[in-house]
Structure 1
Amino acid sequence: MDTAEANPETLGIEVICPERGVTAPCCPHGPTLLFGKGSGGRRFYACSACRDRKDCSFFQWEDEKVSKARLLAREEENRLKQQEYRNRFEELASLPLHEKKFCEDCQMLLLPVEHSTHSTHRATAVTAAQLMRPSMLLRPLDNKKSNAQYLFTDRSTQFLMDTLAGLGYTKVLCVGTPRLQELIKVRNLEQKSRSMKSLLLDIDLRYAQFYSQDEFCHYNMFNHHFFGGEVGVPAADVGIDMSTIHENMLVI
């Protein structure tokens, strides 16, 4: 078995590479990682993205037997969440602009039937420009033990965009870089330079409210997991081959 290098003096937690063919159980954030405490300690599976049980309570001993019903329940939880956001996007996209509102307290775009429910919240109308820049509407996540977000400044984003255009890139895979995705789409609308195709991969599911399946994938880079399975990976639809890096495509 391939494991982390044994060290008798190790007091912390080690990440262990399991045997080939061993499938790790899944938590709400995708396949878990196998951990062990020191040398010879009992090993367990825990979340790949969260380092605090308050953020993801998943815990399973390596040798623990889990019922099939429990496994199916875990899969169903993720599937329903993905479908809910997909349905919300389709319904919101069909609404006229004056019916679209954003709840700052709940960090979500509201459907007309939800306006009264959020009447005591800080809910405001949104403009077309704001919908093009969701990172300006959404509060950055700041939990350093799970999904703290650090966003590019406008100056940095403009520099990256100008550099990409100058080097002739036409396809960009934006991994955890929502502001670059936003600027690409804004510039495509302005038609001031060569059009680019882009796809945002991010663990923050809130972005699914603003983008279609062709523009956003719910993705965990810690374990290279696409939520929703193959349905949630539309890279080929935007001309991006995930298995091959083309000379005119950049991953950033």
Structure 2
Amino acid sequence: MELDEYLPALQRTNARFADAAAEAVLARGWASRVHGCPGWSLADLVWHLAEVQHFWAWVVRTRAVDPATYVEPRRHPDDELLGYLSAQSAELETALAGADPAERVWTWAPRQDVAFVLRRQLQEATVHTVDVEQVLGDVRPIPADVGLDGLDEWLEVMVPGALPQGPPEDAHPVVLHAVDADAERTLFPGSRPFPIAALTGTAGDLLLAVWRRVPLEVLTVDGDGLQAAAMIDLVTLE
């Protein structure tokens, strides 16, 4: 994705999350369990995204280079959560719209700029939108460009973050083929001469599989699916 595509995509995703969350509250209630986030209720999920967007809006708005002075918001009652989330989404979108992607800000990653925040917040909202749609039982496809960018982010940022010393000696490559983006990526390239498996599906389904939101069975698996799952499971994120 190009830098100027992230903010419009985030705006669309935030709107999609808000609509699905409002519908899920009416249909399932705030106490509904979230499949993709074990132990979380629907209320926990909505609060989490609101809190995350509150933090990153503050980082970008203040051009923070250290998060030490950030003041965490208090948890809002369930009946206020949708309104609070809407306000935080608007704050984040406004802050990002007013910032140069090259401007330096604090992040938890080696890359320290607004562009990192743009990409990360789009992907954060994308995966959590699927979480709320799973509660509702009506999951819509992830756009191919967003899915492929999320897969790239997972490979470029999350995998090194989880495995800073590199993959273990017994790691095997896993090929990820996104049919709707006509693209191929590899987890642990160069660790062995041949991949243990090739996983084929839409970019969005591949993204959800590596984030453990859907089982590998939603993909076409050529090779050892159990070992492919084990390779993905090596990427353990906090």
TM range (shorter): under 0.3
Tell me which structure has the larger Cα radius of gyration. Answer: 1
Q: TM-score, normalised by structure 1?
A: 0.26
Q: TM-score, normalised by structure 2?
A: 0.27
Structure with greater strand share of residues? 1
